[in-house]
């Protein structure tokens, strides 16, 4: 019995390891080339194409998993920020930096409207939006956030910053933090004049995901 359990655990561990390799490869491949075939992911992950298809029967399924995982990472960062104490601006800025490192906006900015949203993704999107609203409300109440900033602004800001791509991932990450610092200065300038034009509406954000009805994701 123990041998059988050990073998089963070993198979599960191997499956989990292969799944990790596939997801890491998929993120790297598709963010670099959204049109890449799924076979490229298998090659980069070092697994057979049949093994990949057993886990993800289509490119859509793989992208849905990447999107859901990204939203979970974002939610974890937001949930950690909400109970944080200390200077309100430092808490908000730390959240923004953590969300950027977690990949906020990377999948939505690259693949918006190209694959259907699952019910799980829609629920995760609602959760991430609610958490972001709480963080904005707290910063606004503390008087450290520029007036008029809304959740869709944050969503589109992350997409814009994640679009920065240069020769190496490390250099791209450094530049993204450089531009986030500039954005944070603008978000903190409470003495600035009103932001131009109306804020993005959720209807506009939803249309951004036309091929994925109901998506409200920050990821």
Q: What is the pLDDT of residues 55-82, one digit of tens each?
A: 999 999 999 999 899 999 999 999 999 9
* 77-127 pLDDT per residue, tens: 999 999 999 999 999 999 999 999 999 988 877 787 788 888 998 899 999
User: What pLDDT does residue 211 have?
Assistant: 56
Q: Mean pLDDT across the chain, nearest whole number?
A: 87
User: What pLDDT does residue 31 have?
Assistant: 84
Closest listed residue to residue 63, CA positions, set 209, 166, 167, 173: 209
Count other C-beta atoms under 10 Å from residue 204's C-beta: 12
DSSP-derived secondary structure letter, 116: P
User: What pLDDT does residue 218 have?
Assistant: 41
Q: Determine the Cα–Cα distance for residues 141 and 11; give it in Å rounded to an integer.
A: 52
Give the confidence band of 13 by pLDDT, cuts at 50, 70, 90: confident
User: What pLDDT does residue 209 have?
Assistant: 66
Please provide the DSSP assignment of 179-214 as one string.
HHHHHHHHHH-TTSPPPSSPPPPHHHHHHHTTTSTT
**Whether 136 contacts 154, CB under 8 Å:** yes
From start to end of the chain, where are the E strands? none
H helix and E strand count, the chain = 10, 0
User: What pLDDT does residue 210 have?
Assistant: 60
Question: Where in the chain are all domains bearing CATH 1.10.357.10?
Answer: 65-219
Query: Per CATH, which fold does 65-219 belong to?
Result: Tetracycline Repressor; domain 2 (1.10.357)
Q: How much is the pTM?
A: 0.84
Q: Determine the Cα–Cα distance for residues 218 and 57; give it in Å rounded to an integer.
A: 25
Question: What is the Cα Rg of the chain in Å?
Answer: 19
* Token pair of 94 as six digits: 């730390």
User: Scanning the structure block, which residue is given the tokens 């450290």?
Assistant: 144
Share of the chain above pLDDT 70, in %: 89
User: What pLDDT does residue 5 have?
Assistant: 42
């Amino acid at each position: 019995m123990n041998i059988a359990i050990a073998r089963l655990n070993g198979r599960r561990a191997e499956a989990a390891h292969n799944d990790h390799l596939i997801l890491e490869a998929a993120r790297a491949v598709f963010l670099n080339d959204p049109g890449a075939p799924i076979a490229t992911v298998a090659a980069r992950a070092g697994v057979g194409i049949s093994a990949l298809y057993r886990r993800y029967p289509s490119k859509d399924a793989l992208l849905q998993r990447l999107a859901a995982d990204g939203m979970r990472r974002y939610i974890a960062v937001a949930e950690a920020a909400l109970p944080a104490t200390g200077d309100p601006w430092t808490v908000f800025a730390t959240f923004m930096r953590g969300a950027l490192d977690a990949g906020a906006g990377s999948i939505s900015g690259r693949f918006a409207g190209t694959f259907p949203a699952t019910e799980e993704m829609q629920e995760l999107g609602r959760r991430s939006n609610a958490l972001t609203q709480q963080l904005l409300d707290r910063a606004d109440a503390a008087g450290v956030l520029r007036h008029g900033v809304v959740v869709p602004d944050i969503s589109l800001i992350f997409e814009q910053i994640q679009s920065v791509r240069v020769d190496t991932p490390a250099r791209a990450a450094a530049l993204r933090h450089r531009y986030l610092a500039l954005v944070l200065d603008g978000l903190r300038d409470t003495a600035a004049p009103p932001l131009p034009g109306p804020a993005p509406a959720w209807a506009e954000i939803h249309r951004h995901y036309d091929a994925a009805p109901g998506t409200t994701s920050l990821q």
